């Protein structure tokens, strides 16, 4: 998590849980029951720790409007999806022939650092001539950290631009009549000079 967004979270975390998130196997001065009973759940701490590591190692980030947006590039991945048009039992879907990369976009609320659900995201992969090589709507995935992604077919290794358009989330918002609804404006973020190679 970005340091400014992480600061409110750190204030509420028990010391023992913080030390666990930083790599210790056990909390210091805090029992498992105490850690589970208050503060931030260990799974939430792990989610953001792993997310930050992967953004640093395999992607990048920017800010736009109310968002901090990260991206991560990996090799094409499998996932579970509903059979019969998405309405049946969940079955494993292996990468299709020609799919080379799994590209993830992670929209976070800049003010809090929270991953934002229900965001319609469209991602375009643009080559050096300005041609859109492929454009897709992204799916929302359950994993160590929640994210939006899809598998892409990149025809050749090279350096590309990722252009992600985030439309306002579909969830309802609490607030008073005279307040501006949060996360209510669409944004487009651009990541330039992204290397995409088979086997990423």
Based on the fold, state whether residues 83 and 137 are members of the same structural domain.
yes
- Counting residues of the chain whose pLDDT is more than 70, the rounded percentage is 80
Least confident of 28-32, 96-100, 134-138: 28-32
Based on the fold, state whether residues 141 and 63 are members of the same structural domain.
yes
Based on the fold, state whether residues 150 and 81 are members of the same structural domain.
yes
Based on the fold, state whether residues 93 and 146 are members of the same structural domain.
yes
What are the Cα distances from residue 125, in Å, to 41, 95, 170, 188?
36, 18, 25, 13
Q: Is residue 11 part of a domain?
A: yes
**Do residues 62 and 110 lie in contact, with contact meaning Cβ atoms separated by under 8 Å?**
no
Q: Is residue 48 part of a domain?
A: no
The Cβ-side half-sphere exposure at 13, using a 13 Å CA radius, reads 22
The pLDDT of residue 77 is above 50: yes
Q: Helices (H) and strands (E) in the chain — how many of each?
A: 5, 11
- Counting residues of the chain whose pLDDT is more than 90, the rounded percentage is 76
The tokens describing 157, both together, are 């290794």
List Cβ<8 Å contacts ≥24 apart for 51-55.
Answer: 51/1, 51/106, 51/115, 51/144, 51/145, 51/147, 52/1, 55/106
The pLDDT of residue 89 is above 70: yes
pLDDT attached to residue 191: 98
Q: Is residue 46 part of a domain?
A: no
41 against 200, higher pLDDT: 41
29 pLDDT tier (thresholds 50, 70, 90):
very low
Distance CA 141, CA 197 (A): 23
- Residue from 56, 80, 95, 55 nearest 140 by CA: 80
pLDDT attached to residue 200: 66
Q: Is residue 53 part of a domain?
A: no
Distance CA 109, CA 50 (A): 18
**Continuous H helices in 80-145:** 83-86
Based on the fold, state whether residues 141 and 182 are members of the same structural domain.
yes
The pLDDT of residue 17 is above 80: no
Burial category of 79 from C-beta neighbours within 10 Å (exposed 0-12, middle 13-18, buried 19 and up): middle
Report the domain count for the chain: 2
87 pLDDT tier (thresholds 50, 70, 90):
confident
Average pLDDT over residues 6-12: 44
Q: Is residue 168 part of a domain?
A: yes
The pLDDT of residue 6 is above 50: no
Q: Which domain holds residue 108?
A: 58-196
88 pLDDT tier (thresholds 50, 70, 90):
confident
Distance CA 87, CA 189 (A): 33
Based on the fold, state whether residues 63 and 89 are members of the same structural domain.
yes
Based on the fold, state whether residues 75 and 106 are members of the same structural domain.
yes
**pLDDT tens per residue, range 92-134:** 999 999 999 999 999 999 999 999 999 999 999 999 999 999 9
How high is the mean pLDDT of the chain?
86
């Amino acid at each position: 998590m970005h340091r400014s967004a992480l600061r409110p979270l750190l204030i509420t975390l028990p010391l023992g849980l913080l030390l666990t998130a930083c790599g210790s196997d056990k909390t210091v001065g805090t029992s498992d029951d105490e850690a589970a009973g208050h503060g931030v759940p260990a799974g939430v701490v792990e989610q953001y720790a792993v997310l930050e590591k992967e953004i640093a190692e395999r992607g990048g980030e920017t800010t736009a409007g109310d968002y901090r947006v990260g991206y991560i590039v990996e090799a094409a991945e499998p996932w579970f999806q509903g059979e019969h048009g998405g309405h049946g039992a969940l079955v494993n879907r292996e990468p299709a022939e020609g799919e080379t990369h799994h590209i993830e976009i992670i929209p976070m609320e800049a003010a809090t650092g929270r991953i934002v659900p229900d965001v319609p995201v469209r991602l375009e992969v643009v080559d050096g001539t300005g041609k859109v090589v492929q454009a897709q709507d992204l799916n929302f995935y359950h994993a160590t950290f929640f994210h939006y992604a899809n598998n892409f077919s990149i025809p050749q290794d090279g350096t590309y631009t990722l252009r992600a358009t985030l439309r306002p989330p579909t969830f309802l918002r609490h607030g008073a009549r005279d307040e501006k609804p949060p996360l209510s404006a669409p944004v487009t973020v651009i990541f330039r000079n992204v290397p995409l190679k088979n086997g990423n």
